[in-house]
Structure 1
Amino acid sequence: CSNFCVSACLCVFYCIKIATFRNSFFIYLKVKVDRMVPWLLLGSVFFSLVIGAAVYNVTDKALCKKLNVTSQECIGKGRIRREEHFLPVCFTIGFGFATPFTAVIFSALLLLFSLWRHKRNMQTNSMKDLSMDAHIKAMKSIISFFVMYSINFICLVAGMIYSTKEENPIMLMIYVFM
């Protein structure tokens, strides 16, 4: 979760610093972002620690308080109680992963649009130089980062879904992709 949040903060930071939009709020963010980045990174680490502590607390309560009776009815009740604890945790973790992913989607699309528009302006002004090649390479890098980030997000969500199942061979493939 920390890796996911910090990379999302950096993606938003790069979007604000590199993109050229004339919106007054965007210009205000561009001026103030240098002071906001350390607080954003610290906030994302703090957010990750809170989510991690909550997950550990619920997992510890659900898994360590197993029933010592071996009847089928008690085992079934223990499994239901464990799944009841995991539903709010999975929802919180899903929200914790979806928020940075949404920020990355918007910032990557804004940055790609800005770079594409700037490259198009350079082409109309017939400025064929190294700057246009750098813009194309930057656009390719952003697209590749977005693809890798999306694969990681899909694998994290799939890992949450399949983690409730016991001894699932699909989890190995999910971990390989992550």
Structure 2
Amino acid sequence: MDESEQGEARLGGAVRRRRRSLDLTLAQVALRTGLSAPFLSQVENARARPSMRSLQRIADGLETTAVDLLAAADAVDRPVDLVRSSDDDAGLARDAGTRSLVRGRRQLHALEFTGEHAADREFLHPNDELLHVVDGTVEVEADGRVHLLRRGDTLYLAGGVRHRWRSTAPDTRLLVVAVSDHVTA
């Protein structure tokens, strides 16, 4: 089994553990996510690789975040961990221009979003989050205001602030850094 397949198996196991911890059936998760029970079963058994969008839907249905599922999939904590630009995200392809920049169960998580992304999802995190525009432009709706961020701009959001964002240029690169819900020892 190569490293990508091992990552898929770990991600499937993380999804299964979370589902079982909530005492949910595959059918119940399917209703919560809009994804089919057979697809969810394939994800859990490492026979299907979810897109980042599907993983976010699964995480929402399991009352967690995609970042925490990815962290649970790569539970091996290394004191120093280099993530190369060519690395696969715990078995996830870089679909929809999303890449995890931190592996394992950490206090801090970072994602890089590239290309166009729609504001079709609202976020509400209990912990703080930082958005930094590396290239392009991003429109962020937060706390009843719309903020247009350009290259080099950074927006800090305290925990509990409802927000959504969308890229407004095809060449956009956005770095999102968040404090995790869990703390490692």
**TM bucket, shorter chain:** under 0.3
Normalised by the length of structure 1, the TM-score is: 0.23
Question: Which one has the largest radius of gyration?
Answer: 1
Normalised by the length of structure 2, the TM-score is: 0.23
The structure that is strand-richer by fraction is: 2
The structure that is helix-richer by fraction is: 1
Higher RCO by CA contacts (8 Å cutoff, separation 6 or greater):
1
